[in-house]
Amino acid sequence: MSEESNAIIYSKNVVEMVTLAKEYTAFLERAGEYEAADFLSHAQKLLPLIYLKGSLLPEVEQQYEEEVERFVSETDWTFIRNNIAEILGNTDDFYEVYNEQLFDTEGGEQLSISEMLADIYQDLKDFIELYRFGNPDSINDALYELKHNFAEYWGFKSIIALKAIHRVFFFGNQSEEDDEDSDNSKGGFFQRFQDSHLK
């Protein structure tokens, strides 16, 4: 690896992405410690930063033809996803009018905040584990894949998840807005969060 390439993988934007990815993955690993409103409030602030730092990742040339090493197993992903789904309950699922890959405007699909966040977790966790233990060439290829996956997958998912979180946090569960007995129809998590913290 050239000195220039070596400098890129330890550049300010990459190191800041590593730092933020550590915070995000640790947050999701501790998701069970949060109430729903607190969890959404924290996620709402992390996701825009993740998107911003992802957009600032530098371009690098791939060194190896082989795929980079994976660290997050299906069991790990499921654990993260289920913990978040349990916290959010019936506010987890949402309907998105655009297909996340093709921007298909002819129909929508049922998605969930927990799956979006767990998918982002998987990419970021794999990256920081390779960044921690890999040699410079492996780190370079992990960065190459992270940048590619940002464009194709997790960058878009961070936007979709943030939109869904915003809707739940400020307006509650829209599917229950006509239910007079539902807490989620009365101003969303934000109002209840304020009510509980300002008393």
Ordered by where they begin, the domains of the chain are 3-197 (1.20.120.1550)
Cα–Cα distance measured from residue 115 to residue 85, given in angstroms and rounded to the nearest whole number: 8
| Residue whose entry in the numeric block shows the structure tokens 């947050």 | 27
Cα–Cα distance measured from residue 94 to residue 91, given in angstroms and rounded to the nearest whole number: 7
Instruction: List the pLDDT tens digit at each of the 199 positions of the chain.
Output: 677 778 999 999 999 999 999 999 999 999 999 999 999 999 999 999 999 999 999 999 998 888 889 999 999 999 999 999 999 999 999 887 655 454 454 556 789 999 999 999 999 999 999 999 889 999 999 999 999 999 999 999 999 999 999 999 888 765 444 444 444 444 565 555 445 544 4
C-alpha distances in angstroms, 160 versus 34, 123, 128, 165?
Answer: 22, 16, 23, 9
| pLDDT for position 110 | 84
Interhelix angle 155-171/188-197, rounded to 10 degrees, is 60
pTM of the model: 0.83
C-alpha angle with apex 15: 13 to 21, nearest 5 degrees? 100
Nearest alpha-carbon partner for 83 in 132, 135, 46, 39:
39
Cα–Cα distance measured from residue 104 to residue 131, given in angstroms and rounded to the nearest whole number: 35
Nearest alpha-carbon partner for 117 in 46, 34, 56, 169:
46
**What's the one-letter identity of residue 53?**
K
140 token code pair:
């370079």
